[in-house]
Structure 1
Amino acid sequence: MNCATERLAAIGARRAAGSRGGIASICSAHPLVIEAALRHGVLHGADVVIEATCNQVNHEGGYTGMAPAAFRRLVETHAGRAGLPLDRLILGGDHLGPNPWKQDSAAEAMRKAAAMIESYAAAGFTKLHLDTSMACADDPVRLPDETIATRAAELAKVAEAAVARTGSEKPVYIIGTEVPAPGGALKPLEHMQVTKPDDAHRSVELHRRAFASRGLDEAFDRVIGVVVQPGVEFGNADVIAYAPEKAIELVAVLKRMPQFVFEAHSTDYQPPEALGMLVREGFAILKVGPWLTFALREALYGLSLIADQMVPDPSRENLQAAMERVMVASPDNWRNYYSGTLDEQRLQRHFSFSDRIRYYWQSAGAQQATGALLAALGDRDIPRPLISQYIGHLDVEVGAGRIRPTAHGLLIGSVTRVLDIYRSATNQ
């Protein structure tokens, strides 16, 4: 293991010894988010965890068109430019399981999931989230926990074989049966329930037995975290903040499992004080993704309006109009997530906390539109009154000299503003 992975592997032991710190896991494949995260790590001398999801990056390319090896090259290239030593970088795979192929039979979906996790392990990803909680086409709607644990162990066996064959670093694993849906809630938020402590403990023991039955005891020693539902979630326009009084019994179960910490998913948009409480109470790994690309989109749309004032050009399409055209032409990544009237769906396409627009930034149409916008603004300084008007949440930071008032500086700064919240929450 590199130094950063060793430190991550020891997170449970540090917690058991009294540490109340944690780490944020950056779940995004957007190059500007990756750049911001790496620069943030350099600034603070901190480890950086960057995870690709099963939908973003897989052996078939995912929606980014990248296999894990290509994603690793992308991140390491950015790390070199940012000046982050590679021994401070942890690459992870998020929701590694049959989710991208759940419309297939379980056997076929698991075959593809095995190929995916093999590609992650062989490419040297050292934090692997085993997520086999979703039902496939011929499964019951609610999978038994035993089935979830068995399938997770099967994927772990594939990963361990890939590591042995290629000489890659041995990974650490994240397990759990109560895994929130990637990218935000699909059901009404009032139906969300905090994980029952006995269910969390039982899930761990089922995974322990499933690993042991396949001769993976040593691999199970590298399981460091359990995904549970602490009572946090976000939807299109709503956020449920962490209420510690509802998770008292769940938090207490960690005393029975000193090997582990909890990994909290869907922590996006939580109030800073709620994130801090999550970390202090044992949710030491905080996943964040849509909030980062939401912040990036805020800045991009603001820059489009700034460009209309600074460098007006009737031939340059407004960025929001361009993205509307791109998303309407290819609705598969949003139409099952956004409901209501046509006007309500239009607003959600651009401004939903679920941020389904993130699936479109790498498309040809979006690349052309953002490229034209950034080319128009170039590297010129943008006057503060325009920043105050159109990207007002960054004005104070610009005035203090902490963000460069250029298009690129403002994009990085908007993402960094969220990263700073997570640093404050985890650096305790």
Structure 2
Amino acid sequence: MDYLLHLVRRHKAGEAAGIHSVCSAHPLVIEAAMELALRRGVPVLVEATSNQVNQDGGYTGMTPAAFRDFVHGIADRVGLARAAVLLGGDHLGPNAWQAEPADAAMARAEVLIDQYVAAGFRKIHLDCSMSCGGDPVPLADAVVAARAARLCAVAERAWRVAGGEAPVYVVGTEVPVPGGAHEDLDTLSVTTPQAAAATITAHRQAFAQAGLDGAWPRVVGLVVQPGVEFDHHKVIDYRPERAVALSRFIEAEPTLVYEAHSTDYQTQAALEALVRDHFAILKVGPGLTFALRETLWALADIEHEMLGPERGSDFKNTVLTTMQAEPEYWRKYYHDPARARFDQQFSLSDRIRYYWPHPAIQAAQERLLANLEREAPPLTLLSQYLPAQYEAVREGRLRNAPAELLKEGVARVLRHYMDACAAGAARKELETC
């Protein structure tokens, strides 16, 4: 992953350069990200999580090789060179098998890592922070690091067999858990420099003890908590003044930057500040599918106004009925029965994203899009329900077609990330003019 190694060197040279990571398996989200990357002439980083994609299929039903082929297929359709597609694995470790004894869970994690690297994933987040069956809670730093080093050794062996660019690694984890907080949040503690130092020291020692000194310079990222998070209906915004000590700490590490998780819903100004403060890798996932859901909901409202309930797709009702009948992906998260239907639709945790591949929902979505493809939404309804897309259509930047309207909903979020990651380079260029 030479691109990320070069990015870190640029950042360490004083350029506030960054990259955003698209953590989604939704084809329209990935397509929107690739089209934007193609227009701007930059690579796109797409990541899969251990629960989403693994040797058993994960909740997407895809193995690492199948996910690679899925992503490459979208790149081919868009016209983006496969070399411009960077593949990463997020929270790779025993996460999906925490209920099993540690030995069994780690054996499964070794298979997971081997398959990810063999499939061409070259950005690997080694995360063994979770306790498995029989483990104490929480795990000691030394145990977490030793398990991460064990998995790194597997990755290094898999890379030597597969060939190509050497993997780069990210270590550490954030609190709360990935994907947004499960409960309402009011405050959030920023990782202390002491805790960050302990994580680095433990991993550096574990790598050395495992004979992985050659891999350590390719550990490019440390996951910490910069003080950003979201729960069901609130966003905790980045406050640079609270992370000053943490930001300064990493400046002494010549090959490391921070990776910030749960940056969804942050403002562009906050994203720019994160990159400036050495959080050079910004992860975004639910925020993208939330934007997709917003646009789908707006299109369903437009269809209802145009065609009425008799001729329409019944899209919204199909989605919510399916979620009610199959509650496994939201039941643990939405605890108030009186507002469950509201949270299913509008929670920032966006548990609805797990339901988009459902056959009944896919069929209803196809009817919705086909209806609006046959009869384009009038400008009056675009203005009412999708004002940003209305402006783009009026200015000739966007075609009034449902798939394009959907992708633009996602692209509006992605542009915030791309602009934030490029803002430092733009400022540096202006300063030299």
Question: Match of 2:351?
Answer: 356
Aligned-partner Cα distance in 2 for 1:175–1:73 = 26
Q: CA deviation at 1:327?
A: 1.0
The 3-state SS of whatever aligns with 1:416 is helix
The equivalent position to 2:413 in structure 1, one of 408, 418, 421, is 418
Q: CA deviation at 1:146?
A: 1.1
**Structure 1 stretch 156-165 or stretch 241-250: which is displaced more?**
156-165
Query: In 2, are the aligned partners of 1:57 and 1:68 still within 8 Å (CA)?
Result: yes
The equivalent position to 1:47 in structure 2, one of 35, 43, 60, is 43
- Alignment TM-score, normalising by the size of structure 1: 0.95
Aligned-partner Cα distance in 2 for 1:187–1:377 = 38
Aligned-partner Cα distance in 2 for 1:311–1:177 = 49
The equivalent position to 2:380 in structure 1, one of 358, 362, 385, is 385
Question: Match of 2:96?
Answer: 100
1:29-428 maps to which residues of 2 (within 5 A)? 29-178=25-174, 180-312=176-308, 314=310, 316-340=312-336, 342-378=337-373, 380-428=375-423
After the TM superposition, which segments of 4 or more aligned residues of structure 1 sit over 3 Å from their partners? 177-180
Q: CA deviation at 1:179?
A: 5.0
Query: In 2, are the aligned partners of 1:131 and 1:179 still within 8 Å (CA)?
Result: no
1:183-222 deviation line (CA, Å, top 9, x unaligned): 1012442352100001111211111111111111111111
Query: In 1, are the aligned partners of 2:184 and 2:232 still within 8 Å (CA)?
Result: no
Query: In 1, are the aligned partners of 2:313 and 2:365 still within 8 Å (CA)?
Result: no
Q: CA deviation at 1:77?
A: 1.2
1:345-381 deviation line (CA, Å, top 9, x unaligned): 1111111100011111111122122122112222653
- Alignment TM-score, normalising by the size of structure 2: 0.94
The 3-state SS of whatever aligns with 1:275 is helix
Aligned-partner Cα distance in 2 for 1:87–1:389 = 41
Q: For structure 2, list consecutive stretches of 5 or more residues without a partner in the other structure.
A: 424-433
C-alpha change, 1:380 and 1:170, in structure 2 (3 Å) is: farther
Aligned-partner Cα distance in 1 for 2:176–2:159 = 28
Aligned-partner Cα distance in 2 for 1:324–1:137 = 35
Query: Cα RMSD between the aligned structures?
Result: 1.5
1:62-112 deviation line (CA, Å, top 9, x unaligned): 111111111111111111121112222101111111111112222222122
Instruction: State percent identity of aligned pairs.
Output: 48
